[in-house]
Every structure is written in C-alpha cells, then in structure tokens.
Amino acid sequence: MERTHIITKKGVKMKSPILVEGLPGIGLVGKLAADHMIKERKAEKVAELVSPHFPHQVLMQKNGIMRMLKNKFYLVKGKKHDILILVGDVQAVTSEAQFEVTGRILDYFEKNGGRMIYTLGGYGTGKAPASPQVFGSATHKDIIPAHEKVGMVFGKSHGSIIGAAGLLLGLGKIRKMKGVCIMGETHGGYVDAKSAQSVLEVLSKLLEVKIDITKLDQRAKESEQFMKKMEKEAAKQAEGMPGASPSAHDLSYIR
C-alpha cells in the first residue's frame, strides 16, 4: 500500500452531510465525544480508512483476530442533513502524512456532497475547570454569531490546532467549505469526560440531535486504557528506530 485508501460500503447515499471529526487528541475530548455520539445514535458504519502513514502495527483482539489500525466513518440520518462522523485509533504521525490523509478524507466528504465541517478537541490549559468552557475557532467570520448563541466562546483561544482537527478546516476552506473547531476546556494531562460532555452539549444543539451523556464516564475509562496501550507500543517502535527517542511530541497524534 503506497497511499491512503478508503473502503466504502456499497449503496450508501448521503443528504448534504455535515462532517464531525473526533480523532485522538488532547484529553481524548474529541474522541470521547464522537465515539459516544456514534453509540448513542446507533450510527451505521459506512467506510474505513487505512493508511501507510499510521504506525506499523496491527491490533490483537480478545476474539483472537488481529486487525489494522484505521479510521472509520459512521452515518447518522437527519431531516435536513446527514451527519458523517469520523473516528479512529490514531492519526498520521508526520506533517506530510497528515496532509495526504486529510486530503483523502476531504475527497470522500466532498464526493458525497459535504460542505460543513465540525472538528472536536480539547483546549489544554493546565487546570481542571469545574465547568469547562467550549471554545471555538471558525473558518469564516459570518458563521460565528450562530455558534455563539449555543454557548461557544470565540477569540479567547490561542496557539495552533494540530493534526486533523486543524487541517480538515484549513484545507476544507481552500475547497470553499465552512467549519468550526469545537474545543472543550481541559487540563490536558488526563482523559477528560467532563470536557467531552460540554462539547457534546454544544454539538447536539448545533446538529439538533439528542444525545444521552450518562454513560460517558465509563467510555472515558475504556478509551484511556486503549490509548495507554497505543502509547506504549508507539514508544517501543520509537526506541527501535536509529536516532529516534520517544517524547510527548512524538506521541501527540496518538494521545
């Protein structure tokens, strides 16, 4: 395999889909929120993405079967728009790889008539807020007021949005798509279910769907165990590469 490949389910039709990205990142906020939404809305898996830019390993499962690391797309049917949710095990591990994988995701989304993107993530502050704020960064100024009405805060977050959460919006804007990065305030040093809950509350209003968040704490524990395992495997791989040494930066796309 020389490039990223998306395997699609036959016969799937989408109605002006809205893309919601929740890949691993700070505090696993976006991943927790997106995974929870998929389970609560009983979303249908419609495609899988595999890439040579993911870590070179397969996962051994409890049933004795191994599987590739991958990203997955799930579909939730809506009245005006369908919701296409992107989740997965990992993100691409280099800048060049991120551009290639993101481009393939946008190709798939655009082909199915998508124009609006929401990326989910955590905004690390080094503090544990009692009631996490939800910050936003938009591709276009004209869409900010509608998002402020549901409680999002714009202009108070600073720095860079790393990985898919940023590139999907940046490259999407070049393709004349609009979008917002929805960031839950979080400490950044641990899996944060409370921040994911704040993000889901905002997202459910924007998408006009109901999402039960009562099971989010348990799913946070399950995600934390899985990601710790992934970090250990990534560290082992880094140790085996000439001149390489694992660091928090190296593992940032996996956490």
Give the residue with greater pLDDT, 242 vs 200. 200
Q: Average pLDDT for residues 54-75, to the nearest whole number?
A: 96
Backbone φ and ψ for 79, nearest 5 degrees, come out as -75, -50
User: Which band of pLDDT confidence, cut at 50, 70 and 90, is reported for residue 227?
Assistant: low
What strands, in cross-sheet order, belong to the sheet with 18-21? Answer: 5-8, 44-50, 71-76, 83-88, 18-21, 116-124, 178-186, 134-138, 153-154
pLDDT for the residue numbered 119: 98
pLDDT digits (tens, 9 = 90+) for 78-135: 989 999 999 999 999 899 999 999 999 999 999 999 999 999 999 999 988 889 999 9
Judged against a pLDDT cut of 80, whether residue 248 lies above it is answered with no
pLDDT digits (tens, 9 = 90+) for 145-189: 999 999 999 999 999 999 999 999 999 999 999 999 999 999 988
pLDDT digits (tens, 9 = 90+) for 178-218: 999 999 999 988 888 899 999 999 999 999 999 988 778 77
- Where are the chain's structural domains? 5-121+133-138+146-226
Give the residue with greater pLDDT, 238 vs 123. 123
Question: What is the helix, strand, coil percentage profile of the chain, to 5?
Answer: 35, 25, 40
pLDDT for the residue numbered 220: 65
Residue pointed to by tokens 């809305």: 41
* CA atoms of 19 and 106, how far apart (whole Å): 9
Q: Which fold has domain 5-121+133-138+146-226?
A: Rossmann fold (3.40.50)
Beta strands at 18-21 and 83-88: parallel, antiparallel or unpaired: parallel
pLDDT for the residue numbered 216: 82
pLDDT for the residue numbered 144: 98
Q: Average pLDDT for residues 19-40, to the nearest whole number?
A: 95
